[in-house]
Amino acid sequence: MDISRPLNKAVLEDKFGQYLVQRYSHVPAIVLEEVKPEFLFNPGADIYSQNHTFHLKLSKGISKIWKNEKVLSQFEHFYTFNYEEVAQNSYLVVN
pLDDT digits (tens, 9 = 90+) for 28-59: 999 999 999 999 888 888 999 989 998 999 99
**pLDDT of 20 strictly over 90:** yes
Rounded-to-integer distance, Cα 3 and Cα 72, Å = 41
Res 75: pLDDT: 96
E runs forming strands in 1-95? 62-67, 73-78
Res 65: pLDDT: 95
The string of pLDDT tens digits covering residues 71-88 is 899 999 999 999 899 998
Length reported for the chain: 95
